[in-house]
């Protein structure tokens, strides 16, 4: 099964455009005068949207390229579309932020583009080698981005912490991959699955490999007990980077994780005796999901820093997403994808609020910065209320639809306790989101602040708010799209 | 011919040394070395498995890993230098601005 080179290149056309553009940016950046650097940002948005346009003619095709490393199916395309939109929103949100924080350097946008390429390839990889390589492409870009405000000790600290945990994690993932390769003799997910199905007994090597892989991926998606890095990194990194890290990176890793679990390690557990009874990896994920939700929500209760609070909230959201993987059914997969879309919208929106509040005097990342915002900027406050409602899971928002599907999937597969834990956690999360809403509507600002909001930022904020509401009110189109994309697993 | 299990044993020992190093050492550079040990432990596994299965994939993978490890070291050292300019330390315990 060899794909002609021309067709292989077609498969990675959206990524190729971004790679070329990013390389171009790195080359011309030193020759761009200081006043004109904003154009690099605008060029990046154009490139991201152009790359999004090239996805449209690819819809409906199913091609595997590069010796089975990269695939082009409905699932990969859906994630590529989501990731491109996230990246475009992040770049747009950066325009004013980089000016305020004095990091107006073209490489910033180039690195965001490279991270996007890595994330997109991650969603399209069907081989453990290509998964590892795209994961590294994405992570290495993020290490630099997290430390990008090099004059700010917090940002540098966040960069070094992310770097050390990230590299440590990739070492663990890699060892898991090595063990799987040694056992199955291949790194291709489909071939690994075929090998596992042909075996009579489960090998202890397999158990070790699974634990290493889940631990490694757990680090990347900030699941408890591998979450320690997330609050520090999220707090210190530039806010648009934090937004990208918590949405783009997490969603891409989830895309690859679903592929690993559902294609690579999926087999009938019934003939494996005692270890098979544990539903192979399901029981491990059950605990990770329950702990992640509970810890994330409880730790978020006492936070005073907005970015740190959202970091814990995003840990909790990872826990909700894991519910769908524990259920591992068709509904579970649909639920994860729907919630991932909702999560991208509402989390980006919440970070966008913080970016809008950032100016020369304050970074907009303390909850006290939100005091009295409703009086001066009612539209920003109203948008945040929509995101908060969605994050809690109150109708009519996208977050509600996502949680409905997740808990439904858990109940269908008989994981009642997990669904109950999830619902109780949603109730707990009400408290800390409303703390911010209270600050916005009921408290007075210590001193009057006039925000210099720019149009592109407001446009992104409005798009996120409208998207969150629309997907909550009319979810049919999204659900249909998600259903076609998960058919590759059945 | 040396049996496969010898290679795997060396690899496991290297991996555990690396893991312990990351968890107990306090110096950024030494932690970085320990992580390199973990990556190379995986490398030994890949090459040994590839040799015994007469399959070239593992060797290709290990070449990729070497490249990635170099890229990571470059980025990591750059960040460590930026940090050293700010704080004049390479001790992880002194990097404590961000905490709750």
Per domain, the residue ranges of chain A are 282-490
Mean pLDDT score, B83-87: 88
Alpha-carbon distance of A366 to A435, in angstroms, equals: 12
- pLDDT (mean) for A338-356: 95
- If DSSP states are collapsed to H, E and C, what string results for chain A? CCCCHHHHHHHCHHHHHHHHHHHHHHHHHHHCCHHHCHHHHHHHHHHHHHHHHHHHHHCCCCEEECCCCEEECHHHHHHHHHHHHHHHHHHHHHHHHHHHCCCCCHHHHHHHHHHHHHHHHHHHECEHHHHHHHHHHHHHHHHHHHCCCCCCHHHHHHHHHHHHHHHHHHHHHHHHHHHHHHHHCCCEHHHHHHHHHHCCCCCHHHHHHHHHHHHHHHHHCCCCCCCCHHHHHHHHCCHHHHHHHHHHHHHHHHHHHHHHHHHHCCCCHHHHHHHHHCCCCHHHHHHHHHHHHHHHHHHHCCCCEHHHHHHHHHHHHHHHHHHHHHHCCHHHHHHHHHHHHHHHHHHHHHHHHHHHCCCCCCCCCEHHHHCCHHHHCHHHHHHHHHHHHHHHCCCCCHHHHHHHHHHHHHHHCCCHHHHHHHHHHHHHHHHHHHHHHHHHHCCCCCCCCCCCCCHHHHHHHHHHHHHHHHHHHCCHHHHHHHHHHHHHHC
Tell me the average pLDDT across A436-441.
92
B94 touches chain A (CB under 8 A): no
pLDDT the model gives residue A5: 78
* For range A444-450, the mean pLDDT: 75
- The verdict on B100 touching A (C-beta cutoff 8 Å) is yes
Q: B95 — contact with chain A (CB < 8 Å)? A: yes
Instruction: State the pLDDT confidence band at A266, using cuts at 50, 70 and 90.
Output: low
Contacts of A159 in chain B (CB under 8 A): 79, 82-83
Q: Minimal Cα–Cα distance from A140 to chain B, Å?
A: 7
Alpha-carbon span A418 to A266, nearest angstrom:
22
Could you tell me which residue, A205 or A98, shows the higher pLDDT?
A98
Predicted complex ipTM exceeds 0.85: yes
Structure tokens at A463: 């798009």
Structure tokens at A189: 């997910």
Contact B82 A136 (CB under 8 A): no
pLDDT at A263: 84
Chain B residues touching A177 at Cβ < 8 A? 42, 61
pLDDT at residue A270 in the model: 46
* Predicted local confidence at residue A60, as pLDDT: 84
**Which are the contacts of A391, defined by CB distance < 8 A and separation ≥ 6?**
A313, A317, A346, A347, A350, A399, A429, A433
pLDDT bucket at A273, cuts 50 / 70 / 90: very low
* Token code pair at residue A293: 């939700």
| Mutation for A interface: B17, B78, B100, most A CBs within 10 A | B100
Going by pLDDT thresholds of 50, 70 and 90, the confidence category of residue A415 is confident
What is the three-class DSSP state of B27?
strand
Average pLDDT in the A324-347 region? 92
Instruction: Tell me whether B47 touches chain A (CB under 8 Å).
Output: no
Are A153 and B97 inside 8 Å of each other by CB?
A: yes
Q: What is the pLDDT of residue B100?
A: 56
Give me the mean pLDDT over the A394-419 stretch. Answer: 92
Q: Distance from B4 to chain A by nearest Cα, in Å?
A: 10
Q: Tell me, yes or no, if B64 comes closer than 8 A to chain A by beta carbon.
A: yes
Name the closest residue on chain A to residue B20, using Cα atoms. A168
The position carrying tokens 């959201």 is A317
Between A202 and A44, the more confident residue is A44
Tell me the nearest-neighbour CA distance from A189 into chain B, angstroms. Answer: 14
Task: Indicate yes or no: CB of A181 within 8 angstroms of CB of B57.
Answer: yes
pLDDT > 70 in chain A, percent: 96
pLDDT at A269 > cutoff 60: no
Tell me which of A68, A154, A156, A180 to substitute to probe the interface with B (most B C-beta atoms closer than 10 Å). Answer: A156
Domain ranges of chain B: 4-87
In whole angstroms, what is the distance from residue A238 CA to residue A49 CA? 23
Q: What is the arithmetic mean of pLDDT over A402-424?
A: 93
Q: Look up residue A469 and give its two tokens.
A: 């509401």
| pLDDT exceeds 50 at position B88 | yes
Residues A158, B86: C-beta atoms closer than 8 Å: no
Q: Please state the rounded mean pLDDT for residues A250-259.
A: 94
Nearest neighbour of B79 by CB, restricted to A159, A177, A299: A159
Average pLDDT over residues A418-442: 93
CB contact under 8 A, B31 and A181: no
Angle at A170 between CA A169 and CA A173, to 5 degrees: 90
Confidence of residue A26 (pLDDT cuts 50, 70, 90): very high
Give B-chain residues touching A182 at CB under 8 angstroms: 8, 45, 48-49
Mean pLDDT of A468-490: 91
Domain B4-87 of CATH type 1.10.287.3510: yes
**What does the pLDDT look like over A161-183, one tens digit per residue?**
999 999 999 999 999 999 999 98
Round to whole Å and give the CA distance between A293 and A38.
40
Instruction: Please answer yes or no on whether B98 and A185 come within 8 Å at the CB atom.
Output: no
Confirm or reject contact between B22 and chain A (CB < 8 A).
Answer: yes
Calculate how close chain A gets to B59, using CA atoms only, in Å: 11
pLDDT tens across A31-70, in order? 999 888 889 999 999 999 999 999 998 888 888 888 889 9
Q: Is the dihedral of CA A165, A166, A171, A173 positive or negative?
A: positive
CA distance B96 to B99: 7
Q: For B22, which residue in chain A has the nearest alpha carbon?
A: A168
Is B58 near chain A, with CB under 8 Å?
A: yes
The yes-or-no verdict on residue A153 having pLDDT over 50 is yes
Using a CB-CB cut-off of 8 Å, the residues of chain A touching B42 are: 171, 174-175, 177-178
For residues A136 and A336, give the distance between their C-alpha atoms in angstroms, rounded to a whole number.
24
Mean pLDDT, residues A333-339 taken together: 94
**What whole-number distance in Å separates Cα of residue A175 and Cα of residue A182?**
10
Q: What is the mean pLDDT of residues A346-363?
A: 89
**pLDDT on residue A2:** 65
Q: What is the pLDDT of residue A1?
A: 53
B71 and A140 within 8 Å at the Cβ level: the answer is yes
Q: Is B88 on the interface with A (CB under 8 A)?
A: no
What are the backbone dihedrals phi and psi of residue A202, each rounded to the nearest 5 degrees, phi first? -80, 140
């Amino acid at each position: 099964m060899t794909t002609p080179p021309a067709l292989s290149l077609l498969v990675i056309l959206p990524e190729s455009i971004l790679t070329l553009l990013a390389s171009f940016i790195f080359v011309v950046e030193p020759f761009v005068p200081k006043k004109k650097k904003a154009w690099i940002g605008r060029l990046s948005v154009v490139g991201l949207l152009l790359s999004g346009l090239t996805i449209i003619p690819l819809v409906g095709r199913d091609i595997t390229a590069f010796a089975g490393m990269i695939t082009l199916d409905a699932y990969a395309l859906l994630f590529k579309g989501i990731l491109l939109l996230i990246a475009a929103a992040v770049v747009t949100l950066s325009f004013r932020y980089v000016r305020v924080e004095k990091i107006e350097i073209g490489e910033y946008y180039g690195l965001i583009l490279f991270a996007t390429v890595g994330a997109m390839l991650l969603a399209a990889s069907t081989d453990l080698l290509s998964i590892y390589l795209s994961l590294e492409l994405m992570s290495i870009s993020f290490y630099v981005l997290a430390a990008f405000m090099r004059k700010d000790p917090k940002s540098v600290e966040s960069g070094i912490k992310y770097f050390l945990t990230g590299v440590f994690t990739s070492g663990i993932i890699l060892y898991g991959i090595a063990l799987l390769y040694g056992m199955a003799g291949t790194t291709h997910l489909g071939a690994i699955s075929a090998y596992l199905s042909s075996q009579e007994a489960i090998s202890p090597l397999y158990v070790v490999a699974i634990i290493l892989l889940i631990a490694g991926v757990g680090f990347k998606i900030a699941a408890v007990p591998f979450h320690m890095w997330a609050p520090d990194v999220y707090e210190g990194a530039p806010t648009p980077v934090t937004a990208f890290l918590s949405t783009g990176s997490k969603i891409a890793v989830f895309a690859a994780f679903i592929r690993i679990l559902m294609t690579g390690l999926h087999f009938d557990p019934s003939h494996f005796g005692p270890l098979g009874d544990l539903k192979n990896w399901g029981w491990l994920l059950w605990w990770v999901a329950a702990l992640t939700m509970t810890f994330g929500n409880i730790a978020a209760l006492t936070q005073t820093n907005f970015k740190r609070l959202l970091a814990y909230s995003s840990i909790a959201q990872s826990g909700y997403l894991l519910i769908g993987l524990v259920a591992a059914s068709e509904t579970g997969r649909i639920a994860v994808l729907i919630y991932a879309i909702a999560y991208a919208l509402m989390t980006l929106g919440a970070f966008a609020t913080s970016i809008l509040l950032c100016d020369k005097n304050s970074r907009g990342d303390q909850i006290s910065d939100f005091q009295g915002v409703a009086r001066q900027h009612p539209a920003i406050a109203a948008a945040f209320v929509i995101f908060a409602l969605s994050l809690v899971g109150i109708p009519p928002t996208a977050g509600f639809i996502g949680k409905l599907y997740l808990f439904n999937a858990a109940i269908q597969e008989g994981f009642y306790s997990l669904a109950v834990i999830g619902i109780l956690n949603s109730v707990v999360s009400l408290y800390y989101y409303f703390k911010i809403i209270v600050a916005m509507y009921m408290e007075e600002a210590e001193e009057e602040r006039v925000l210099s909001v720019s149009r592109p930022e407001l446009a992104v904020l409005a798009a996120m708010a409208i998207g969150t509401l629309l997907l909550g009110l009319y979810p049919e189109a999204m659900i249909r799209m998600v259903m076609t994309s998960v058919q590759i697993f059945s | 011919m040396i049996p496969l299990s010898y290679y795997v044993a060396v690899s496991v020992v290297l991996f555990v040394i690396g893991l312990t190093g990351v968890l107990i050492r306090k110096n950024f550079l030494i932690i970085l070395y320990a992580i390199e040990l973990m990556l190379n432990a995986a490398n030994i596994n890949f090459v040994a498995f590839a040799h015994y299965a007469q399959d070239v994939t593992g060797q290709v993978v290990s070449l990729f890993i070497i490249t990635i490890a170099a890229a990571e070291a470059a980025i990591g050292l750059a960040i460590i230098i930026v940090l050293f300019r700010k704080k004049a330390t390479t001790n992880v315990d002194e990097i404590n601005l961000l905490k709750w």
